[in-house]
Structure 1
């Protein structure tokens, strides 16, 4: 089984909430997505997606994703997609860094792998726990009561975990506004719900501590990605009464190892495209598990294909360490594929279909923007 053809597609994914507001005044109305289809000599196909969160989130941007894929794709022609670690080695040899570009190809190889052996990807990642997973909402920063209403809307749709965005500039209201946002979003908390307060690296220790001091007692949440550097995170951790989760700063295997060695966090945000795909994500899962770090399995954003990868990885995380999976499909209005996770009253499970279990709508994606073949 060898890769004989690789097609690259591009699509714009409008944000379903109109305008997405992030810390530091960053805003997004849509997301520029890249999709890859790998076709093998026996006819097996696999799909992958990589959708950067604009160009101001981490060191990734859509044009760079496609430029990276253009460098990587020729190196994978003639290779067996089931040898996922070796595929990763080839990509690392062809291009240093640029994990967002490697993600789409890596996930497509896992999809093809699963289809070739008739198994869902979660089984290849170690096996599904069989425990329904909570979906995580993404509550963008805004007026406190509006955010509270959005939490309630997601709660009514079955979400049991919520990521509340903070990080207001002083000119926007600063720590006082963020404290109001947190208090409002947690006001109607239900038993069994989990909240993360996510600054997306938009705070410094001073603003984070000011925000914390303005909160009423008894609020139960984890503080995610408060600062832009590990030094700042370490400084805050020594004085913060809340558990800290590291996200943007946990991209490489070495990042996870350092976080564990220096006891910098209580959990990590495991994002598929930030890690470089499911192959590296599996290593991050295992490092975090060995250290007793909790995990939320996410991606920067994306459509149904990215959501499928999230669900399969999340299903392989032990229940006591998993805080939820991000439904990025719900964040965008363009439907690129049919993906039907099993839904229960307690959460979701991956489907039993082989590979990712997605049926891609190729008419929506249109013609490839680039193609490579043997």
Structure 2
């Protein structure tokens, strides 16, 4: 089987309402998503999606994906997409770094492999069944009362796990947010306080040692060094996210005892192949993990849910779904959707999701075998 064509689509996906994080420091209103279609000489087509969460959240942006695909495509045409490790090594040789560019290509190759084998991705990734995965609500920064009201609305939709955005410039307000939310959660619910790297180490230590709450705290500071410094001085379990770009970062975090868990996001680390490697390492060292993507439609969400569903229960926390924040749905009625607080991956071969071409519109680029 050989790749004969790579087609690129671009879609602006407005959020249903503006989204604030990092204590209100960062605001997002529209996501720039890139959809990749890979065709083969066997008549099998695979789909992938790359959608950075804006351009200020991480060193990634939508136009960068499309520029990177233009660089990589000539080296991928004629290769067997089922040879996932080879495809990833080839991409790393031809374009060092830029993992977010490679993720949608890798995703599409997994889709082709699953269809070729007649198996869903969750089974190829080691799962025994299409396990429902808890869905994590995302609570935008606000007053303690506003955030608790958002949690109540999420609870009414079946969510039992919540990610509350904190990390403002007002230290006292952050302490109030954490205490109010931790004590005001509905019975049986859990929360992670996501700082999105907004605190300096001294602020993180001051805030966390001033609260009674011992819930998860995510990415308190900018760098791994800073987060490791904080982790050694507070009692809260620490979840690392934005500073974890590759396998070496995860290995370093484990060696330093910098966290008790991580977020594994395929688009950030280079795709499902590398995300699975990190997931397996996390299982081996006893981490608990949120497995989800950076952003995107239900296509990108579904790929991450396949990996999450194949993760052992003891190591799997909840997964966030970006698509419920969007006002456009390019894969209507398909994929892993929130049903009373959980999402189940499809059992169709491969990814089990295919975009509506009428919604995607005309491709922005096509690369194919020359006659």
TM-score (norm 2): 0.95
Partner Cα separation in structure 2 for residue 193 and residue 2 of structure 1: 48
**Paired position in structure 2 for 1:27:** 27
Deviations for 1:44-85, whole angstroms, at most 9, x for unmatched residues?
111111111122111111111211111112211111111111
Contact map agreement 2:5 2:366 (CA 8 A) in 1: yes
**Paired position in structure 1 for 2:160:** 160
Partner Cα separation in structure 1 for residue 344 and residue 242 of structure 2: 26
Partner of 1:74: helix, strand, or coil? Answer: helix
**Paired position in structure 2 for 1:193:** 189
**Paired position in structure 1 for 2:94:** 94
| Structure 2: gaps spanning 5 or more residues | none
Q: 1:309 aligns with which of 277, 286, 303?
A: 303
Contact map agreement 2:216 2:236 (CA 8 A) in 1: yes
Partner Cα separation in structure 2 for residue 133 and residue 192 of structure 1: 17
Contact map agreement 2:232 2:258 (CA 8 A) in 1: no
- Tell me how large the CA RMSD over aligned residues is: 1.7
Contact map agreement 2:209 2:234 (CA 8 A) in 1: no
In the TM superposition, 1:168-317 aligns within 5 A as 168-169=168-169, 174-215=170-211, 217=212, 219-317=213-311
Partner Cα separation in structure 2 for residue 40 and residue 261 of structure 1: 42
**Paired position in structure 2 for 1:18:** 18
Q: 1:322 aligns with which of 295, 316, 325?
A: 316
Residues 1:344 and 1:63: Cα distance change in structure 2 (over 3 Å) = closer
Task: State whether structure 2 residue 355 is matched by structure 1 residue 360.
Answer: yes
The number of residues matched between the two structures is 368
Instruction: For residue 210 of structure 1, report the CA deviation from its aligned partner.
Output: 2.4
Residues 1:214 and 1:220: Cα distance change in structure 2 (over 3 Å) = closer
Partner Cα separation in structure 2 for residue 308 and residue 128 of structure 1: 17
Partner Cα separation in structure 1 for residue 299 and residue 131 of structure 2: 22
| Structure 1: gaps spanning 5 or more residues | none
Residues 1:258 and 1:151: Cα distance change in structure 2 (over 3 Å) = same
Greater shift in the superposed pair: 331-340 or 295-304: 331-340
Greater shift in the superposed pair: 107-116 or 276-285: 107-116
Contact map agreement 1:147 1:184 (CA 8 A) in 2: no
Partner of 1:49: helix, strand, or coil? Answer: strand
**Paired position in structure 2 for 1:127:** 127
Residues 1:54 and 1:118: Cα distance change in structure 2 (over 3 Å) = same
Q: Which runs of 4 or more aligned residues in structure 1 lie more than 6 Å from their structure 2 counterparts after TM superposition?
A: none
Partner Cα separation in structure 2 for residue 321 and residue 257 of structure 1: 17
Partner Cα separation in structure 2 for residue 35 and residue 372 of structure 1: 14
Contact map agreement 2:21 2:166 (CA 8 A) in 1: no
Contact map agreement 1:342 1:351 (CA 8 A) in 2: no
Partner of 1:264: helix, strand, or coil? Answer: coil
